[in-house]
Amino acid sequence: MPQKMPPERKAEMDAVLAQAVNASLATANPATLQPHVVPVWFWWDGERIWISAFSSTRKVKELLLNRRCAVLVEPLPGTSPLRGVLLEGAAELLTADRAEVARLSEIIYARYMPPEELAGPEPQSWMVDPENTIVCLQPERLVGF
Give Cα 136 to chain centroid, integer Å: 7
Kindly report the number of other CB atoms within 10 A of residue 128's CB atom.
12
Expressed in percent and rounded to 5, the helix, strand and coil fractions of the chain are 30, 30, 40
120: exposed, middle or buried (Cβ count in 10 Å: 0-12, 13-18, 19+): exposed
Q: What beta strand segments (E) does 17-96 contain?
A: 23-28, 35-40, 42-44, 49-54, 68-73, 85-90, 92-94
**What's the rounded Cα separation, in Å, for the pair 91 and 9?**
24
pLDDT tens for 80-112 read 999 999 999 999 999 999 999 999 999 999 999
- Domain residue spans in the chain? 7-144
Q: Which 3 state secondary structure label does DSSP give 56?
A: coil
Matching CATH number, 7-144, of 2.30.110.10, 3.90.1640.30, 3.40.50.1100, 2.40.160.40: 2.30.110.10
pLDDT of 86 reads: 98
pLDDT tens for 2-49 read 568 899 999 999 999 999 999 999 999 999 999 999 999 999 999 999
pLDDT of 76 reads: 98
Give Cα 143 to chain centroid, integer Å: 15
